[in-house]
Structure 1
Amino acid sequence: MEDPFANNSREIDEENLITEDEFPQKDQRYFDGRRMHKVPQSMRLKKHKEEDCYAPKMVSFGPYNHGLSELRMVEEFKPLVLTMIVSSSGEDREFFYYKILEVIDQVRNCYVGVSRDVYDDGALAEMMLLDACFTIYIMKVSLGDGEKYFHFHQHFGMAAASRAFQDMYLLENQIPLWVIELSINLIYGNKEEESMLLCNFLSFVIFGDLRLTRIPGEDKKRPLHLLDAFHQLLVEEWDNAGKKLVQPVSECQWFLPRQWRKECPNEFGKFSRQNRSVTDLKAKGIYFKPSSYCLKDIEFKSYTFFGQLQLPVWFFSFHSKLFFQNMIAYEASPESDVDFSIICYINFLKPLIVKPKDVKELREKKILFSCLDGDEQVLQVIKEIDTCGIDLPPIFNDVKMRIEEHCSNKAKTWIAELIHTYFRNPWTFIALLAATILLCLTFLQTYYTINKL
């Protein structure tokens, strides 16, 4: 039988295709009606010379970017990776190809506008298998597999690993997560270490460790693709077993801004004035504390003479802008069934961080971490993240209201401002103490002088 991977082309001889009679398409357990949409055209408008955050730079996954000439080098490398990955399974690669072909209709249904005129079933099955194996390969490189690490370095150098990794979480550069899981199960079977590969990768990317023991959403709706899995891990709190914990913020009510202004005009007036930076809030006696990795875990508590704002922990890197832009595009894409948690988090963060001193304060409080060169670069990354004018305040409305009420309370902020002005370092305290002593001595001298007279 002719090898369907011989020329790595889109054209597959129809004689080599498996018909529906041989493999009936009865199993629909993978496709649940959700589809992978492209980035909305309005979000692709960019300034002159601005980098396209939605286009892959090194490797394509799925049909939306397949065949781009600038990605040809890795495309030609994928069959080699496929051979390496499946070699330990005891099966030949045609076995895996036909297994993907069995469910190819469900794969096709996950995409928008991928017709059989462009990719017939054989070509799409070939693409899925190559991309799934390359995903497994990059996961292993990221998790420190010595053999895969050296193999990748030998062909591309480790500088390219960063590009390949960031291409994995582009919105238009995804394959169904169940295709990756199916490939892992077919290739590695019941090997416990390998069966945890996807779970370990997700946990390592988001938490920096291997705390998760299962993929989020296993009990209910499973992630559609890798970006969706990252999103689920970031907007909910999870225990080490991958179970969702109680939501850290009150249930969100997604009112349209106009409706919300109409129903709560007085509250909107209070909210609209809330635009204070970390430095400003600190001067009002508000201190900062890390909450969790959940980006919805923002809480404010007001006490007698001070306030406490709890913020989620985040690590900023060179990938952060691209990562958040694709998360924002995912939330704003057509028919998206996720909420706007990432957009609201960025909209909440931007007014807080307006100068390097704000970054420094959150860094010292163990809220923001970074591998960038200085607080100025972190500030620049945050400034460059574009929510495309999407402004949905209600998710953190309660937090913002309580912050504004605290800052507007003169009795609560007067002592805080006094402490911030005169007790922030030993020298201002000594100067205040000396001035107080001098004033007392002057008063005593005046008093005794008057009494003697």
Structure 2
Amino acid sequence: MEDPTANKSREFDEEALITEDEFSQQDHRYFDGRRMHKVSQPMRFKKHKEDDCYAPKMVSFGPYNHGLPQLRMVEEFKPKVLTMFVSSSGKDREFFYYMILKVIDQVRNCYVGVSIDVYDDGALAEMMLLDASFTIYLMKISMGDGEKYFHFHQHFGMATRSFAFRDMCLLENQIPLWVIELSINLIYGNKEEESMLLCNFLSYITFGDLRLTRIPGEDKKRPLHLLDAAYRLLVKEWDNEGKELVQPVSKCQRFLPWPWRKEGPNNFGIFNRQFRSVTDLKAKGIYFRPSSHCLKDVTFKSYIFFGQLQLPIQFFNSQSKLFFQNAIAYEASPGSDVGFSIICYINFLKSLIVKPEDVKELREKKILFSNLDGDEQVVQVIKEIDTCGIDFSTIFDEVKMRIEEHCSNKAKTWIAKLIHTYFRNPWTFIALLAATFLLCLTFLQTYYTINIP
């Protein structure tokens, strides 16, 4: 087949142009002014030769990492994937290429520093077409497409699949989400099952199920890329119909109020990054319950004899550090308007988890889940997530202040200590009862000895 980039003035028949009208009517909504920035050099500085959390290992998406020699194997494989989808769609490759070329100016505007001298319109359109088809290919594999699963492993082996999915969540390795959606529509048309592919993929990688029925931001500003879409799912709560339950953080909460602007000297303690660990809070009579999958869903209630801290459910695996590191870089990107929810959550989590016993407590309460080898590894992963010195924790300031008030109440903490010491297991409770019984017997014996002749 002739390379579509060789002739940009290719003529299409009239029927094909009519088919494209539905897309051309919506071209104006694709680019909304937001751009994909690279990770700043200070943030990506590697300490002690650590692995670069922002660089792809197997596959490139978009122009920032395109053409790297170490990614050549998958780059040479992408045309086969595109051919597979083109042949199944009933259209030809030129049609796909032309549809991407129509909106190539909007694609270019999504990136920073991708000049026409580096990638002309034809080369950039070809890149988007190949990258979008390979993204859809990986989505189909993750959703259980056996044919494509076997096809991938036949070419790359079983050990490499995790690297491909790893590279999909890197900040510098993204293509516009609307390019993926456009490609899905071009390949599958209006087939209901396939039109839900992107929504199901995001739901599965975030929640482990298919609870979502729509892409986050569908009625507002659309996600910029896959990382943005996954980010939105983690900082908002969605019900089984895809309805948003938790409102995003307000603009006034995005900036850290300085301690000296707070009233009362005791409030300075909420800015202490150390705060109190899970074990310490448990000793103060605070119990833990899961809230939701929304990372901002942290609440605390103080009762007469105890307190209850509800924390979001989170699963940690070998890729958790990489995802959170890129999500933090996304929050810190120039012009970012998403807030600092991930940074606040990680800082709060670092203050709560300092040793394996803290992880064990949250794991037993069904708050933290992990497929890592032991609680020690979870602690290590959390410690290694670098917030780059950004100390924002404003979302949880009120919760931390309420916890401090509870822990400063001597009556509540004394009762909590009593319960924690003597009622935490049957044997200490039996020992307390035995001691109380013996004390009563001693008192009765003394009373009768004195008062009865």
Quote the Cα distance in structure 1 between the aligned partners of 2:248 and 2:41. Answer: 34
Which shifted more, 30-39 or 91-100?
Answer: 91-100
The answer for the alignment partner of 2:75 in structure 1 is 75
Give the count of matched residue pairs. Answer: 442
Q: Please list, as runs of the form range in 1=range in 2, the aligned pairs for 1:40-439 lying within 5 A after superposition.
A: 40-247=40-247, 253-258=253-258, 260-266=259-265, 268-272=267-271, 275-439=275-439
Q: CA deviation at 1:18?
A: 6.2
Residues 251 and 109 from structure 1, CA distance in 2 versus in 1: closer, same or farther, beyond 3 angstroms?
closer
Unaligned runs of 5+ in 2: 12-16
Quote the Cα distance in structure 1 between the aligned partners of 2:199 and 2:294. Answer: 18
Quote the Cα distance in structure 1 between the aligned partners of 2:119 and 2:70. Answer: 20
CA contact (8 A) 2:181 2:198 kept: yes
**Per-residue CA distance 1:409-438 (angstroms, 9 max, x = gap):** 111111111010111112222222222222
The answer for the alignment partner of 1:16 in structure 2 is 8
CA contact (8 A) 1:324 1:385 kept: yes
Residue type at the aligned position of 1:280: D
Quote the Cα distance in structure 2 between the aligned partners of 1:272 and 1:233. Answer: 27
Which shifted more, 53-62 or 378-387?
Answer: 378-387
Which shifted more, 81-90 or 30-39?
Answer: 81-90
Quote the Cα distance in structure 2 between the aligned partners of 1:448 and 1:302. Answer: 45
Residues 101 and 419 from structure 1, CA distance in 2 versus in 1: closer, same or farther, beyond 3 angstroms?
same
Quote the Cα distance in structure 1 between the aligned partners of 2:74 and 2:170. Answer: 17
Residue type at the aligned position of 2:282: K
Quote the Cα distance in structure 1 between the aligned partners of 2:251 and 2:115. Answer: 41
Residue type at the aligned position of 1:294: C
Quote the Cα distance in structure 2 between the aligned partners of 1:243 and 1:318. Answer: 30
CA contact (8 A) 1:97 1:129 kept: yes
In the alignment, structure 1 residue 34 sits paired with structure 2 residue 34: yes
Residue type at the aligned position of 1:186: L
CA contact (8 A) 1:188 1:195 kept: yes
Alignment partner of 1:369: what SS? strand
Quote the Cα distance in structure 2 between the aligned partners of 1:174 and 1:249. Answer: 25
Cα root mean square deviation, aligned: 2.2
Alignment partner of 1:41: what SS? coil
Quote the Cα distance in structure 1 between the aligned partners of 2:245 and 2:317. Answer: 28
Residue type at the aligned position of 1:261: W
Q: CA deviation at 1:405?
A: 0.4
**Per-residue CA distance 1:270-327 (angstroms, 9 max, x = gap):** 4246711111111111111111111000000111111110111111111100010000
Residues 250 and 452 from structure 1, CA distance in 2 versus in 1: closer, same or farther, beyond 3 angstroms?
farther
Unaligned runs of 5+ in 1: 5-11
Q: TM-score, normalised by structure 2?
A: 0.93
Residue type at the aligned position of 2:97: Y
Q: CA deviation at 1:356?
A: 1.0
Residues 423 and 250 from structure 1, CA distance in 2 versus in 1: closer, same or farther, beyond 3 angstroms?
farther
Alignment partner of 2:63: what SS? coil
Which shifted more, 209-218 or 241-250?
Answer: 241-250
**Per-residue CA distance 1:193-212 (angstroms, 9 max, x = gap):** 11111011001011111111
State percent identity of aligned pairs: 80
Q: CA deviation at 1:349?
A: 0.8
Alignment partner of 1:304: what SS? coil
CA contact (8 A) 1:60 1:167 kept: yes
